[in-house]
Structure 1
């Protein structure tokens, strides 16, 4: 998908593709690339490769002259009452994105099961061109896509605050519209030689970019897929998700079935509940019929108020949420009501947008924010 071409002068050390290309051009053996990243990961809080021992002088010179440990920087952090932490990150071209760290405690002291985990929600684009009518990020439009290094840098920044075990691609942007960079970042993050995150602890959320879904299945069959569905029929989906015109629901659901046959994974279905738009008994039963043959869990997401005058939806009533969930149960479809995180710092579903017109160190930046993940 097209976007404004970003002018970047610095190279992130986490852009492995660029390191590989430069080393190849200068006839540096590829074994030194793996050694570099093993060192960086083990010593990530040093934020430098300067103390790496027994490394070729020519390779070290190339790294020093051409790369930075991070090309982005954290401008500030906000912590919610529930512990959720939102980081405002400035990229090298002055663009700004947000990432959110969420904490979940699934420990059961009696059974001795579960754990307390930190999940990082990352952005993959600056804004988004999918223009979903309920989502604040869509009001930004698409300003540009992140490099593989900028995606990984979000994880590196988060490690200064928490021991991250899970990542969800549910921040700004459509991951499948920046797939090459997302793919490269995922390879680094899940490689057992480097950050070694478990594939099952990675979730990618998409509005439904049909041509890329099976590519994702081929490349990362053990990662999770979340589909932002939000409507049980094509007409309603077109109304609230403009890109549904190009990705029709029948073809999308057929692709989801193919994905499931390939990976054997259950699908996370994200369904944002909008009062009197898609939260009535009619839509619940339509959704039940649509999903009855798909192994999935539906995450019911009550819509959050957003600081945007162009968005006029209302939050669903509690009794309507419960009724919707009960109807899905009639179809033997498991569902959860999303555990909202970070509402008091504008850190909840559909609220991620950074006002790019108010950038700069000495200017007040208005932030409204993000989509978090329900408990798995």
Structure 2
């Protein structure tokens, strides 16, 4: 492969804005770009000259400036039950991120007593940053600090690499990083994912945020029909600030106003993520406070058992009894649909809040739990 321009790194062919601009400058029809993506997706180790039927000017341009993938799959670790697979992906700059494939068989589950339609499907949990600047005290990724943003191509390459291991039906931006702090690459990556050759529905993509208010206001306009998940984790501002220092910049009353505006425009349920921390946010009074905060919204509250890991062990996981009582209050007193997340991949440090390079995990959970983001939409 020809050397890139001196001092410049190769770009990912999945960096949509960059390759579009280069093709336009070279007067190459941009309709060939999805064809290139499709070929790369189907031929992992291809050389540019192998792609058939491109304009002659496209080949030297691709050779000089782009790679089929700037990321490499460093390692693949399967959970003991073979349901979860964690991918350690090395970026061109030497940093690494993690992505997690979670497999489901809908034939084994039921909703309202009836078998779910469909069959095997996989959800991919994607990272948007190396590390995270939000500093949530219960999250292993937050303990890394912030390293750098991913480009849109590096975000899409996680889907490309994962698709070679399992057909991906859903994508959730719940991996490393705060997606809305990397807004433009996030939006560009999602637009690639919803276009050929991937053609994911926006309704199969969920973006999770701690509550970046100005970005929430932009998101529905930029990507209609996307699923929004909000990491709320506390029903009042002072507790939120104790466990999520970044919440000081996003007062709860202003966040709820932004969510109300978002829901009015999109007419979709909002997913509320709530990590259960023993003695911190899991008492009955907290359940009532949360119910009153959310009762005017169309939401699904997802209660998340805390995963102790590394230096985060000063928090304790709420008991199953407390989780059950919390769920009961929200359901019965406030008629709010409330589920408990089934944690997958704890034995490979692939569960919620555990994505951090080189930290071990010793956590397991059980119970009557929801397993799939699709189940929350019913």
Shared fold (TM-score, shorter chain, > 0.5): yes
- With 168-177 and 217-226 compared, the bigger mean Cα shift is at 217-226
Q: Is the 8 Å Cα contact of residues 127 and 173 (structure 2) preserved in structure 1?
A: yes
Q: Does structure 1 residue 154 correspond to structure 2 residue 158?
A: yes
- Say whether the 8 Å CA contact 1:8–1:92 is kept in structure 2: no
Shift of 1:240: 0.8
Shift of 1:288: 0.4
Q: Structure 2 CA distance, aligned partners of 1:175 and 1:47? A: 31
- Residues 1:274 and 2:277 are matched in the alignment: yes
- Equivalence for 1:116: 120
Unaligned runs of 5+ in 1: 1-6, 355-364
Aligned match of 2:24: 24
Partners of 1:24 and 1:245 in 2: CA distance: 44
Tell me the residue number matched to 1:314. 316
1:352–1:367 contact (8 Å) kept in structure 2: no
Cα distance, 1:178 vs. partner?
Answer: 0.4
Does the alignment pair 1:253 with 2:252? Answer: no
Q: 1:325 aligns with which of 319, 324, 327?
A: 327
Q: What is the match of residue 243 of structure 2?
A: 240
- What does 1:350-365 align with in structure 2 at a 5 Å threshold? 350-354=353-357, 365=358
Distance 1:366 1:134, change over 3 A: closer
> Secondary structure at the residue paired with 1:132?
coil
Who is 1:93 aligned against?
Answer: 93
| Structure 1 residues 279 and 342: alpha-carbon distance in aligned structure 2, compared to 1, 3 A threshold | same
Conserved 8 A contact 1:40-1:48: no
| Displacement of 1:75 | 1.1
Alpha-carbon distance, 1:45 to partner: 4.1
CA deviations on 1:194-225 (whole Å, 9 max, x unpaired) are 21011111000000000000211112221100
In structure 2, the residue matched to 1:199 is: 202
- The aligned counterpart of 2:366 is none
1:70 aligns with 2:69: yes
Question: Matches of 1:290 and 1:8 in 2, distance apart?
Answer: 50
Looking at structure 2, the residues matched to 112 and 126 of structure 1 have their Cα atoms a distance apart, in angstroms, of 36
- Higher RCO (C-alpha 8 Å, min separation 6): 1
The answer on whether the counterparts of 1:271 and 1:298 sit within 8 Å (CA) in structure 2 is yes
Do 2:13 and 2:37's aligned partners in 1 also have CA atoms closer than 8 Å?
A: no
SS of 2:183's equivalent in the other structure is: helix
Q: CA–CA distance in 2 between the matches of 1:44 and 1:218? A: 35
Q: What is the CA distance between 1:114 and its match in structure 2? A: 4.0
Tell me, in whole angstroms, the C-alpha distance in 2 between the residues paired with 1:129 and 1:302.
Answer: 23
CA offsets per residue over residues 121-177 of structure 1, 9 Å max, x none?
000000000001111111111100000110011011101210011000000001101
| Cα distance in 2 for residues equivalent to 1:44 and 1:222 | 31
Instruction: Give the direction of change, closer, same or farther, for the CA distance of 1:293–1:261 in structure 2 (3 Å limit).
Output: same
The Cα offsets for residues 34-69 of structure 1, whole Å up to 9 and x where unpaired, read as 44334444x354544433222111111101121111
1:105 aligned residue: 105
Q: Separation in 2 of the partners of 1:164 and 1:210?
A: 30
> Offset of 1:28 from its aligned partner?
2.3
**Matches of 1:47 and 1:245 in 2, distance apart?**
48
Q: Distance in 2 between matches of 1:46 and 1:197?
A: 24
Q: CA separation of 1:111/1:126 partners in 2, compared to 1, >3 Å: closer, same or farther?
A: closer
Asked whether the equivalents of residues 133 and 177 of structure 2 are also in contact (C-alpha less than 8 Å), the reply is yes
Cα distance between partner residues in 1 of 2:241 and 2:34? 46
Structure 2 partner of 1:358? none
Unpaired segments of 5 or more residues in structure 2? 1-6, 363-370
- Is this contact kept in 1: 2:344–2:350, CA < 8 A? yes
Query: Residue 233 of structure 2 aligns to a residue in which SS?
Result: coil
Q: Which position in structure 2 is the counterpart of 1:166?
A: 170
The normalised TM-score by structure 1 is 0.90
CA RMSD of aligned residues (A): 2.1
CA displacement at 1:118 relative to structure 2 = 0.3
Q: Identify if the C-alpha distance between structure 1 residues 111 and 326 changes in structure 2 by more than 3 Å, giving closer, same or farther.
A: closer
Q: Decide whether aligned partners of structure 1 residues 231 and 13 sit closer, same or farther in structure 2, where only a CA change above 3 A counts.
A: same
